[in-house]
Structure 1
Amino acid sequence: MTVLSGNTGVGKTTFMCEYSLDLAEQGVPTLWGSFEMPLRKVCLFSEPLDPPIPSRIAEWARMFSENIPIYFMNLHGAQSLTEVLKTMEVGVKDSGVEHIVIDNLQFLLGAGDGAFVERFQRQDHYVQKLRAFATEKGTHVTIVAHPRKEEIGRLLSINSLYGGGKISQEADNIMFLQVDSSTSIPKKYLQVGFCLHFTSYYFIFVVDITTKMM
């Protein structure tokens, strides 16, 4: 199980769209659960960008219908965990799904009116069930999760993950989309904060924050 976190607007969903599409193009059957962003926008973010868009419309339609094993849950907003797990099981059984994306955990839980302690307990329960599903079915589950509210400019760490400790305990990999604004040219980069089989390291890619060009 992998957890991806990052501050609001940093590009978590965009990154996951590109990442999951790349895996699907390599033949990894992928099931998307988009509980925050409408499915239409997820599909737009998942479109390959090179060559230019107009020249590839027909090709995309053919690829997605014939070659790319990527599927989408017909669910949005707060959902029953039972319903989500049922949809995941159908995906594994009927389509051979090997990778499941949950975007994101907080929207799946819903806003709710309960106290923080109750909400943390519900999140821990959801994470435990998702982890158990991944282990039992032999699939990989990637969870997009919001961090706690941190001081502006402060880089995220495992302690920044929202909720109780279950999400970091159950994860095999924890990744952060970081923004370092301490330099003259701000950098956005993907950091592997934890990996069960390796020590912490990170990949850096420079981004023009003002134009959002990568």
Structure 2
Amino acid sequence: MQLVSALWNSFEIDNVRLLKTMMKQFARTKFEDEFDKCEEAAEKFQAVLLHFMTYNGPQTIKDVIHTMRQAAYVHDIQYIIIDNLQFMMGAMLQSNDRFMAQDLLIGEFRRFAIAEHIHVSNNRHTSKEDPGLPLQISSIFGTAKATQEADNVLILQQVSNVHDGVTRRNSYIEVVKNRYDGCLGKVPIRFDRDTLCMSLPPNVDPAEEELKQVLKVVENENVVKRNGGSDMVMESDVNYPTWVQSWSDEPND
């Protein structure tokens, strides 16, 4: 648990429902089957430095920024989550230009983050695209300002493929922009219906698997050398670690 004081605002989901989901994720327990663990989990959850705004539905940027600034002063907030940006746009639209309204919101949040030295994350929808292809940074709804102003951009990818009549879905988080570090990459995840968590596939040690992958590449290079330097390495031999392949090949329920 990181000791970072956070402020969460969901314009779409009420706080009671949101907290119920968060407690289940925090405890990694299906309370419907183990209700006796609910009270213990609630006591531990109180130690999390998490605060909530009470806004729900479209709100003006002036009211939201005022609340964020007050919370930062009173509770020493260091991290703010806005979920989601599209729900705020309804209160700002004086015309049908949704792109302009979103750009104004992004600019206000950017100025607040710089002035108050607080990390602000906001959730945004993407454009409707082919489910068989991964989303790109250009898939994010809005103008280029939507991603230009961001220091980091992460996309939750869910790519569906049909093989032998069976639909398989690969889910992973992809870092498509990292302004200060520059390191990009993907983290495979799977959804646990009991705990409502998105996490790594079970029984996976990323460090151990990365070492196995390096050894596998070296072995394939040796195969090429033994065959007189001819191109004998298939793409599948040096693609992803075996745990990613076995997990992504599971049929979708």
Query: 2: distance between equivalents of 1:148 and 1:89?
Result: 32
- 1:1-214 equivalences in 2 (<5 Å): 25-47=1-23, 48-53=26-31, 54-65=35-46, 67-110=47-90, 114-115=95-96, 118-182=97-161, 185-196=168-179, 197-207=181-191
> Against the structure 1 CA distance between its residues 78 and 153, is the aligned structure 2 distance closer, same or farther, given a 3 Å change threshold?
same
Match of 1:7 in 2: none
**Partners of 1:136 and 1:49 in 2: how far apart?**
36
Q: Letter of the 2:139 partner, please give it.
A: S
| CA deviation string 1:75-115 (max 9, x = no partner) | 01110000000110111000001110000000121285832
SS in 2 for 1:85: helix
Say which SS state the counterpart of residue 178 (structure 1) adopts: strand
Cα deviation for residue 171 of structure 1 reads 0.6
Task: Give the TM-score, by structure 2 length.
Answer: 0.67
* Larger CA Rg, structure 1 vs 2: 2
Which residues of structure 1 form unaligned runs of 5+? 1-24
CA displacement at 1:165 relative to structure 2: 1.4
* TM-score normalised over the length of structure 1: 0.78
* Kept in 1: contact 2:3–2:49 (CA 8 A): yes
Tell me if structure 2 keeps the 8 A contact 1:64–1:70: no
Q: Are the equivalent residues in 1 in contact too, given 2:131–2:158 (CA < 8 A)?
A: no
Per-residue CA deviations over 1:163-204 (Å, capped at 9, x if unaligned) read 111120111110111112226542111111111122321111
Any gaps of 5 or more consecutive residues in structure 2? 199-253
Partners in 1 of 2:57 and 2:8 — Cα distance?
14
Q: Following TM superposition, by how much is the alpha carbon of 1:34 offset from its aligned partner in structure 2, in angstroms?
A: 0.2
Residues of 2 paired with 1:213 and 1:199: CA distance? 25
Larger displacement relative to structure 2 (189-198 or 51-60): 51-60
> Taking structure 1 as reference, are residues 172 and 40 closer, same or farther at Cα in structure 2, changes over 3 Å only?
same
SS in 2 for 1:181: strand
Q: CA RMSD in A?
A: 2.3
Count of residues in correspondence between the two structures: 185
- Measured at CA, do residues 175 and 114 of structure 1 come closer, stay the same or move farther in structure 2, by a change above 3 Å? same
Residue identity matched to 1:63:
K
1:12-64 superposed Cα distances (whole Å, 9 cap, x missing partner): xxxxxxxxxxxxx4211110110011222211121124355324322333234
Report 1 or 2 for greater relative contact order, CA contacts < 8 Å, sequence distance ≥ 6: 1
Q: Percent identity?
A: 30
